[in-house]
Amino acid sequence: MRSLQMKQGVEKAPHRSLFKALGLTDEELSRPIIGVVNAQNEVVPGHLHLDQIAQAVKAGIRMAGGTPLEFPAIAVCDGIAMNHAGMKYSLASRELIADSIEIMATAHPFDALVFIPNCDKVVPGMLMAAARLNLPSIFISGGPMLPGIHQGKKVSLTDMFEGVGSVGAGKMTEEGLQELEECACPGCGSCSGMFTANSMNCLTEVLGMGLPGNGTIPAVNANRIRLAKRAGMQIMALLEKNIRPLDIMTKEAFENAIAVDMALGCSTNTALHLPAIAHEAGVKIGFEDFNRISKKTPHLCKLAPAGNHFIDDLDMAGGIPAVVLELSKLNLINTNSLTVTTKQWNDNLAGAKVKDRKIIRPVEDPYSPDGGLAVLWGSLAPEGAVVKKGAVAPEMMVHTGPARVFESEEEAVEAIMGLKIKPGDVIVIRYEGPKGGPGMREMLTPTAAVSGMGLGESVALITDGRFSGATRGASIGHISPEAAEGGPISLVQDGDLISIDIPNNKLDILVEVDELEKRKKRWRKPEPKITKGYLARYARLVTSASTGAIFNDKFTT
């Protein structure tokens, strides 16, 4: 056992005395020590109940003969951090989460780890740590929030942000918005649509790092507690068989995850997180892989914000195993991939079944023959950009319009709410990338305001930042290289024509090359927006969105 390093032998008597200060007995110390990484806090609705999950996990570990020791991880609520300086810290927290877990699990050599995340950057941060440490590991998320019910219709956080735009456009009263506010988020869990948190929890299941049900069983369902107990017991089986994350998170597993990503129409943030996790696992995944797999993967589910179905609907329709089963009919899944069940996906599909064809369409009748995400390239995005294609109105799949350029999210929101954006415009928000932001803020406020004002079928938004998983419409993010690095987006001027061709994966600025060269000669690298603290260090180390915004391995200054 790895934990013998801190508990066996005469020279470890001081260590044992410290464990006994925790109340541990000799019997408990004789068993494998399992670290339980719990991201619970009282700030994030998706994490409020994780202590219940942790108690169930620890019960499972004890039932299977292990001794659990719990330690915390931080978590940022992207919804609460949205549209102010706090959002700069969201993506940046991913690296801190991975680093802090590395510290805890190395300073205290556990035999295995159980990870309890739920929201946004916590899931990929923990997956990065699991790959880096390569100890037997399993994930159990807190599960999705149930949708709210407003006037007989299912609603979510997206409706709240779009409601703000509707009030600004005079389409909703402030009293109506307050009524919606009371019911949009009815309780604990990760926000109820196929936003980033639920996307990553579902893809954790596909990667093989979570048990079936990890991504879709609602937070308030008792089966979530039972799943947590099973995860606690299962970590002991993984330890016994010495099955580790790098045995599971292979190139094939990542390609499985991307295929399901495309079938579900997940958040565009998956194109940031999967490459970053793969990097820690020694696997190369890039925009080209997303596009290649998207071209051959049918879009089977339209979940909020792209449609009217929610994660609880997906769970009742058969969950992730049902989606994997459907894709396997086209040989889009490597069913020989190992999972934390200690079995291959092929074995896990034995009881899988699609229970509702309205929620999970057959591969013969998809929403579209290709995936819900698309990567675009062109003169405006030489290294790529990402759009949730499945949530774009048909009218905006091909669009050319004049640029309306803004140097920050705040400037853009002021113009949108000030009714200064016209149908046909292409809103350009720049200097919001990983370095330029710094932190590559999610920008749900401007996209939701555009939709709430009824402009979602006539106005596009493009940025070197990123958009929330709750975003819908022609919202193109991750433009690389970013403006702060002198990418072409830094050269755009008001009135320049921007050409968007999503079916052909193109994003171009229709300006003569000579003119762009003149502008490039005049361009000067901006001064950093933040010069001290963690974000200043982050800006110096972080790489492009096209690489997953990982840290530069060479640690240049």
Separation of alpha carbons 117 and 188, rounded Å: 13
List 219's β-bridge partners, or say none.
none
Write the single-letter amino acid at 360: I
Separation of alpha carbons 163 and 161, rounded Å: 5
Separation of alpha carbons 386 and 37, rounded Å: 32
Tell which residue, 379, 358, 347, 408, has the closest CA to residue 512: 379
Residue with tokens 């052909």: 504
Kindly report the CA angle at 439 between 480 and 372, in degrees rounded to 5?
Answer: 55
- By three-state DSSP, how is residue 224 classified? helix
The H or E element spanning position 293 is: helix 287-296
DSSP secondary-structure letter at 471? -
Instruction: Say if CB 298 and CB 328 are below 8 A apart.
Output: no
DSSP secondary-structure letter at 145? P
Instruction: Say if CB 158 and CB 472 are below 8 A apart.
Output: yes
Tell which residue, 130, 132, 149, 148, has the closest CA to residue 140: 130
Dihedral class, residue 40 (left if φ above 0, else alpha if ψ from -120 to 50, else beta): beta
Which residues, other chains included, contact 13 with Cβ-Cβ below 8 Å and sequence gap of 6+?
none
Instruction: Say if CB 380 and CB 507 are below 8 A apart.
Output: yes
Give 520-526 contacts, CB < 8 A, sequence gap 24+: 520/486, 520/491, 523/486, 523/490, 523/491, 525/484, 525/486, 526/431, 526/436, 526/484
Tokens describing residue 522? 């005049």
Separation of alpha carbons 140 and 36, rounded Å: 10
Residue with tokens 């988020």: 185
Instruction: Say if CB 337 and CB 250 are below 8 A apart.
Output: yes
Which residues, other chains included, contact 279 with Cβ-Cβ below 8 Å and sequence gap of 6+?
285, 547, 548, 550
Tell which residue, 200, 281, 323, 217, has the closest CA to residue 550: 281
The H or E element spanning position 399 is: strand 398-406
Kindly report the CA angle at 291 between 139 and 428, in degrees rounded to 5?
Answer: 95
Q: Taking the alpha carbons of 39, 41, 47, 48 in that order, is the dihedral positive or negative?
A: positive
- By three-state DSSP, how is residue 353 classified? coil
Catalytic sites, residue numbers = 468
